[in-house]
Amino acid sequence: MALLPGISSPADVRALRPAQLESLATEIRAFLVDSVSRTGGHLGPNLGVVELTIALHRVFESPRDTIVFDTGHQAYVHKLLTGRSDFSALRQRGGLSGYPSRAESEHDVVENSHASTGLSWADGIAKANELRGAADRHVAVVVGDGALTGGMAWEALNNIAAGQDRRLVIVVNDNQRSYAPTIGGLAAHLTTLRTTRSYENVLAWGKRTLRRSGPPGRLAYEALHGLKKGIKDVVAPQGMFEDLGLKYVGPVDGHDVRAVEGALARAKAFGGPVIVHVITEKGRGYTPAEQDVSDRFHAVGVIHPETGLPIAPSRFGWTSVFADEMVRLGHRRPDLVAITAAMLEPVGLAPFTSEFPSRVFDVGIAEQHAVASAAGLAFGGMHPVVAVYATFLNRAFDQVLMDVALHKAGVTFVLDRAGITGDDGASHNGQWDMSLLRLVPGLRLAAPRDEDTLRAALQAAVEVDDAPTVLRYPKGPLPPRLPAVDQLAELDVLGRHDGDERSVLVVGVGAMAHTATRVAELLAAEGCTATAVDPRWVLPVPESLVKAVGDHTCAVVIEDGVVEGGVGSMVAQHCAAAGVRTPVHPVGIPLRFLEHASRAQLVESLRLRAEDIAHDALRRLDTPAH
């Protein structure tokens, strides 16, 4: 009889007999492959934590005990075991989030998708339990998929070690990967822990040897004491954690549910902070994922479950253009280097790595370090290109401001997945970058609209050696080429339509340039004079754009970023400072978090379709000024 349909809460998991747990794990894996292959999602990480999550819910009593996943894309099994079994609309509007979600369940606390924050959350929750007198409550935090490479994680560990009476269990889910093989000194240390014969095993061997051949009495005791002292530093590298004041348990086979349960139970009983080191295999139990070396099953689209191949192969996209142009520039510029934060393949740096392996630095999930290190590389005579998702540059804003811009360092930032990305929800929509970066003195930002403008912008950006430069582009396939019909200094004119005395300047920022041309056409159909333009470099605001605004009755600036403090509001400020009285209407994303949905659904709900923008512009034109 199937077990999974009978699981609606963690109490049901705890009620199972130990002999049933392996069968439950098999059912969960089959469910994940079948469901995620239909919707897309983070398949590999969740296949790797099946037994671990079962053990967590047998040892800890959620929600009384708090369970945190860092990163949160490891939480699919947790969702299943806490009563959320409808994965039919995973990461789609109205369906389950791809991350923990407080709106879904009391068992979800941290909606964690920006990695390396979970330990800080756990530290705070454990402190709160202590202050409230809830000493019998525990906090368990699963740190995996490279999250322990982030600097915040080590700041948290340093503080957690100070609370020796706080009931906090840190599970290091060691699958050797984030988006790619985990790198750095910590990774090497964990590898040592995985591959070195444990201290306890060697000690047991020594005891057996002494019993067989050693003299009795004091001499045997001294020999055993010397054995302990001599081997501990060699075979117990967990000392790094214990030197911090953190008890260490492991390594434990993460796919032996009874072994994991036993280790977690021991850690829970200790009564203080404990690290449980669990060895797992990403993609466990799914042959295509187990045989893949590129980690393409970390997150998948809709796939054939039998083969793991995509239903609809990806079209040549923005990221591929960047990847190709980087290689071309790398051959011409020996000073060009690349930096990323655990996203070498997703941001398109794999081809550059193949050509120039010594000129690529993957720093792990450590965006702050990446940017400050880039400033150092620039000082040393190189030109670094820092490639990350737009949403993750938020984490390193201080370094962009104070390490790069203040020091006039020639560093280029390439922001993939800028604007509305949709499926992964609030944390992954790249909507904040332009509002934040407009505050950085001297920074220049380009928003290319197609392949040609992306290549041209990257070529221009790496020539700047005295200020930060930024390129941002969206997720997905490339739009058709959109050539300029004319140029006005720094502006590309995309279309002109003559009409009545009402004249509208429609400014399209980056990916919204195609929308701007359509808005101009719709306005022209209503008799307006309409001009669509694209300022490929939107920061600083071009003087020619301010002049063009002044030559029209009204201006509309369309951007796929937060409208408050965005490009449109900056254009309006510059026009006001220049004495230009033409009203400027910024159109973009309101200042709120966006729920997970498709890009098309979000564009429609935000009234960012060309038809909506044109309608609103006509209404403003026909409304008398007061």
Task: Return the closest-CA partner of residue 590 out of 616, 564, 556, 557.
Answer: 564
Task: Return the closest-CA partner of residue 346 out of 320, 327, 325, 382.
Answer: 320
Which residues are catalytically annotated?
282, 367, 395
Taking only the tens place, the pLDDT of each residue in 378-434 is 999 999 999 999 989 999 999 999 999 999 999 999 999 998 887 777 777 888 899
Task: Return the closest-CA partner of residue 432 out of 568, 602, 585, 565.
Answer: 565
158 is in an annotated binding site: no
* 503-508 and 554-562 beta bridge pairing: parallel
Burial of 201 (0-12, 13-18, 19+ CB in 10 A): exposed
145 is in an annotated binding site: yes
Alpha-carbon distance 144 to 206, whole Å?
34
- Residue 137's contacts (CB-CB under 8 Å, 6 or more residues apart) are 64, 65, 66, 129, 167
Residues in the chain, how many? Answer: 626
Helix (H, G, I), strand (E, B) or coil at 97: coil
Domain 318-472 belongs to what architecture? 3-Layer(aba) Sandwich (3.40)
Query: Which run of H or E residues covers position 78?
Result: helix 76-81
Q: Which tokens belong to 323?
A: 């990847």
Count the neighbouring beta carbons within 10 Å of the beta carbon of residue 441: 11
pTM of the model: 0.80
Alpha-carbon distance 249 to 320, whole Å?
44
Dump strand ranges (E) for 379-521: 383-389, 412-416, 444-446, 469-472, 486-488, 491-497, 503-508
Alpha-carbon distance 566 to 577, whole Å?
17
H and E: helices and strands count for the chain: 25, 18
Q: Where are the alpha helices (DSSP H) in 132-256?
A: 151-160, 185-195, 199-213, 218-235, 239-243
User: Which regions of the chain are under pLDDT 50?
Assistant: 178-180, 182-186, 189, 194-197, 199-200, 202-203, 205, 218-219, 221-222, 224-237, 626
99 is in an annotated binding site: no
467 is in an annotated binding site: no
Count the neighbouring beta carbons within 10 Å of the beta carbon of residue 232: 15
Alpha-carbon distance 430 to 101, whole Å?
19
pLDDT (0 to 100) of residue 444: 97
pLDDT (0 to 100) of residue 177: 56
Count the neighbouring beta carbons within 10 Å of the beta carbon of residue 291: 10
Backbone angles phi, psi at 222, to 5 degrees: -65, -40
pLDDT (0 to 100) of residue 240: 56
Bridge partner residues of 459 (DSSP) = none
Residue tagged 């203040």 (tokens): 406
Task: Return the closest-CA partner of residue 322 out of 377, 389, 249, 231.
Answer: 389
- Residue 357's contacts (CB-CB under 8 Å, 6 or more residues apart) are none
What is the assigned CATH class of domain 488-622?
alpha beta
383 is in an annotated binding site: no
Task: Return the closest-CA partner of residue 143 out of 169, 166, 105.
Answer: 169
Task: Return the closest-CA partner of residue 35 out of 105, 97, 86, 100.
Answer: 86
Q: Does domain 4-196+237-291 have CATH number 2.102.10.10?
A: no
Q: Which tokens belong to 260?
A: 């994991």
Spans of all domains in the chain: 4-196+237-291, 197-236, 318-472, 488-622
Alpha-carbon distance 423 to 414, whole Å?
21
Task: Return the closest-CA partner of residue 340 out of 519, 146, 173, 162.
Answer: 146
pLDDT (0 to 100) of residue 342: 85
427 alpha carbon, distance to own chain's centre:
8
pLDDT (0 to 100) of residue 212: 55
Alpha-carbon distance 551 to 222, whole Å?
93
Task: Return the closest-CA partner of residue 486 out of 476, 478, 475, 494.
Answer: 494
Answer for the pair 492, 516: CB distance below 8 angstroms, yes or no: no
Alpha-carbon distance 447 to 539, whole Å?
9
Query: Which run of H or E residues covers position 372?
Result: helix 367-379
Alpha-carbon distance 277 to 169, whole Å?
11
73 is in an annotated binding site: yes
Alpha-carbon distance 235 to 239, whole Å?
10
242 is in an annotated binding site: no
Answer for the pair 320, 359: CB distance below 8 angstroms, yes or no: no
175 is in an annotated binding site: yes
**Identical fold between 4-196+237-291 and 488-622:** yes
286 is in an annotated binding site: yes
Residue tagged 């690529």 (tokens): 360
Alpha-carbon distance 387 to 63, whole Å?
38
- Residue 194's contacts (CB-CB under 8 Å, 6 or more residues apart) are 174, 251, 279
83 is in an annotated binding site: no
